Amino acid sequence: MLRHSHHNPKLFIDGKEVKTFISGTFQDGGGNQLQKLTATFSDPDLEDMALMNKRVELYLNQGSLDGIPIFRGYINQFTPTDKDIKIIALDPRMFLTGKGSIPIVIDEKSNFDGQTIVQFLVDYIDNTVNSNGVILSTEYLHEMDKPIYMTGIRDKLEAYSEVKKLIESKLDDETEVDRTNINSIFNYKFDIIHGGEYSGITIRKRRSLNENADFHYTYADGINSLTYNERAPPSYAIAQSEEGEQVIFEYGNAPKGNRGLTGVKSIGNSRGEIKENLISQVILKQQYTKEIQLSCTKGYTLGVGNIISIDVPKLNLNGNFEITSKNINISVNNIKCTFKCNNEPIQVSDYIN
């Protein structure tokens, strides 16, 4: 570490500081994806350590010592060479999904009928994931404004994958009076909160862009570089009923060209109910048409879901935007932070002409 640098990142593995931390990349892709840390170091004391599933903490210490890590997770993969060691760590939700998870069997004998997905997660995490000590805290879990229930679910499943499917199909829609009021339609996402000792899963409802911004960016204050693209808002959406029927909703005219959403997760007991849900999905997407990439010099602790204000008149960019993904590159003498805003992580196949 250069003595004159005000960057002083610290990497800890299993509670021990890595003295020869070389570089790292922290990624939060949003969209219910797990946070990921890739780090490289050359500490010979760690070469013989059984690194798999060891706890990792990264502190940025940007100008001062941090009390809470920017990332906490567990090693999912590591590659030693004759020069260094490279690790890949994921946040503690890795124990809820994929190879590291313990599947749960829900049948007529043992089920969660009448319980919400939050009650289900608390039960699964406390009694299964944390059976040998706290890995993932449940203190940040709270009930949704309109709860989702596990009633009727029967299967052998991964806990996180199942509740992700349920939460991604849920909208908090308060537009019974005015269907064009996009500020009354909100969806939900899972997130991870890194506390002082443990990290915990939580559910966040998307915030209105009309709220006060958490941070203000201009070229004179905070912006290193900025680019953006603008796409046409979706004018229709397609979903499929449980019986396999295709349900289509078309929304008004399309002055910027026809664009549609396909593969939309919209649940309902009838074609009419599914169509009502599609209306909300399309209207919600109407406000997320700009794809902004912002390289910043401050605000590194902001995360996915935070609202930032951007004021760049020469690019005709002025207003509030939501952070949808975050990437931090760390080296011994530099930290580079990049946000993406208003461009949710989508697959190309999600958008059709």
pLDDT tens profile 246-264: 777 776 655 555 666 655 6
Q: Which residues make Cβ contacts (< 8 Å) with residue 273, sequence separation at least 6?
A: none
Which of 165, 182, 205 is the endpoint of a domain? Answer: 205
Asked whether residue 176 carries a pLDDT value surpassing 80, the answer given is: no
Which of 152, 174, 205 is the endpoint of a domain? Answer: 205
Does residue 58 share a domain with residue 134?
Answer: no
The number of CA neighbours under 13 Å toward the Cβ of 188 is 24
Asked whether residue 231 carries a pLDDT value surpassing 80, the answer given is: no
Does residue 119 share a domain with residue 82?
Answer: no
Would residue 5 count as lying in a domain?
no
Confidence band, pLDDT 50/70/90 cuts, at residue 241? low
Does residue 82 share a domain with residue 108?
Answer: no
Does residue 150 share a domain with residue 45?
Answer: no
Confidence band, pLDDT 50/70/90 cuts, at residue 243? low
Structural tokens at position 265? 């997760």
Asked whether residue 4 carries a pLDDT value surpassing 60, the answer given is: no
Does residue 195 share a domain with residue 231?
Answer: no
Which of 90, 106, 137 is the endpoint of a domain? Answer: 90
Does residue 153 share a domain with residue 227?
Answer: no
Does residue 117 share a domain with residue 84?
Answer: no
Would residue 48 count as lying in a domain?
yes
Q: For the chain, what is the total number of helices (H) and then of strands (E)?
A: 3, 22
Asked whether residue 347 carries a pLDDT value surpassing 50, the answer given is: no
Does residue 250 share a domain with residue 348?
Answer: yes
Q: What is the pLDDT of residues 263-282, one digit of tens each?
A: 565 666 676 677 667 766 66
Would residue 308 count as lying in a domain?
yes
CB distance 209 to 322 below 8 Å: yes
Query: pLDDT value at position 133?
Result: 94
Would residue 151 count as lying in a domain?
yes
d(CA 277, CA 105): 30
Total domains present in the chain = 3
Does residue 106 share a domain with residue 187?
Answer: yes
Query: pLDDT value at position 286?
Result: 64
pTM score over 0.85: no
Query: pLDDT value at position 178?
Result: 45
Asked whether residue 206 carries a pLDDT value surpassing 90, the answer given is: no
CB distance 129 to 136 below 8 Å: yes
- Averaged pLDDT, 1-25: 80
- Averaged pLDDT, 322-336: 92
d(CA 14, CA 12): 6
Does residue 306 share a domain with residue 286?
Answer: yes
- Averaged pLDDT, 193-220: 93
Q: What is the pLDDT of residues 87-138, one digit of tens each?
A: 999 999 999 988 888 889 999 999 999 999 999 999 999 999 999 999 999 9
Does residue 108 share a domain with residue 82?
Answer: no
Range of the domain at 186: 98-205
Give burial (CB, 10 Å; 0-12/13-18/19+) of 330. Answer: buried
Would residue 115 count as lying in a domain?
yes
Does residue 85 share a domain with residue 107?
Answer: no
Return the percent helix, strand and coil in the chain, to nearest 5: 15, 40, 45
Asked whether residue 287 carries a pLDDT value surpassing 70, the answer given is: no
Confidence band, pLDDT 50/70/90 cuts, at residue 143? very high
Would residue 210 count as lying in a domain?
no
Would residue 4 count as lying in a domain?
no
> Does 18 or 186 have the greater pLDDT score?
18
Asked whether residue 234 carries a pLDDT value surpassing 80, the answer given is: no
d(CA 111, CA 128): 15
Would residue 24 count as lying in a domain?
yes
